[in-house]
Structure 1
Amino acid sequence: MRHHNITPGCIMLLPFYFKGLGLGGGLIMAIGSQNAHLLRMGLRRQHVGLTVLVCVLCDMILIAAGVAGMGAAIEGNSALLNIARWGGAAFLVWYGVRAWRAVLNQHTLNAASATTTLSAAQALSAILALSLLNPHVYLDTVVLLGAIGGQQAGPGKLWFALGAMSASTLWFIALGFGARLLTPWFARPAAWRMLDGVIGLVMFGLAASLMTGAAIAH
């Protein structure tokens, strides 16, 4: 029987992957219009596969463009590298504060309230608009993930991007196809509070890593 061993190179690259996974997961789970729409479609069982696919593809394209473009821009430029590091850290702190402020809000998501049936074309148009016309999408993927991903050394950029893409893919699939199971849970404000609290912790932890120079690439 042939044994396949994991090479030391792959093991060394795994931290880059998990860093992208953690940051991408923290950003993608934040409550927003795209997630709310996907949850509604999942609860109503309308074009769930199409909606999930568009969400995943849009995130993959934007993450890849961000990491590739920002990586080329900041590579070898210490000034841009510091701007990306401190700017990214500041944004993460703001994001964490925003998430923790949401913990104090009594907000629920009445995802099952609508009864309108959408055609495939309408469903496609709706999710494309929510995915591409929302400035926060570009801020999260192209700017933040791109800047941090661009700091990673060598193949670490690719592995960071793959980690962020994996987070988006797993979240969208779970949210879209698992929506019916989440209905009783997310009808309660406490569930959203718990989610926001965890997101805040993730954002603060990653910001601290950047500010202390503990980024994996260095």
Structure 2
Amino acid sequence: MGKRIDGEIIRGVINDPRLFPGIERVRSGSTQMFGKRIIQGGKCIQECDFEITPPEKSWYSKEIDGVWHWVEGCDHCNGEPKEWAYSRCQKHDVCVDCGGDRKSTTTAWGCSGGWRCNDCQEKINRQRLAEAEARIVPDDEYDEMDFWHEDEARCPWCKAEISTDESYDACQEEHKCYECERHFKLTAEHSVSWTTIRSVKQVA
């Protein structure tokens, strides 16, 4: 185990004569860009002077006591796995379910703990859909009144809870259920209540 700084392993000194203490550094993925970068009005008017690609994609540059070092950015290598990590080494940058690497999948789905390959995600999707289908009652047993004026919106097909964060003004809004993948219409029901309080002031 190498020396550490702030819990991360120091991999070694960066041997590049262009580096000096205090030079500005910007990370862009694994690429390290050095020199002043100027942004005005949302546009870059001056790029950094040069860039360096680290020997390993999870390493990043850090100035330590006036000297630039490569530091390990992989949370697993540092012994502190996180739900969301900026970058991981090739060994640990794998599917959270099957352990396959990125080269073995055409699509990677971001998830807690890292990412999931397309095959594993499709397996989860099929299981979720099957469970939702099992909750759907036949038409002759369906009562639309079970879904009227409810405190929480539920899919009228599979009874899954529906997010209504952006639907407070909904009126027959078309939606697709995430769980059973069927369509339904959503309407926000609003009610008004009144409060009266006696006034001290009396009419003469």
Higher share of residues assigned strand: 2
Report the TM-score when normalising by structure 2. 0.21
Q: Which has the bigger relative contact order, CA under 8 A and spacing at least 6? A: 1
**Higher Rg of the two aligned structures:** 2
Higher share of residues assigned helix: 1
Report the TM-score when normalising by structure 1. 0.20
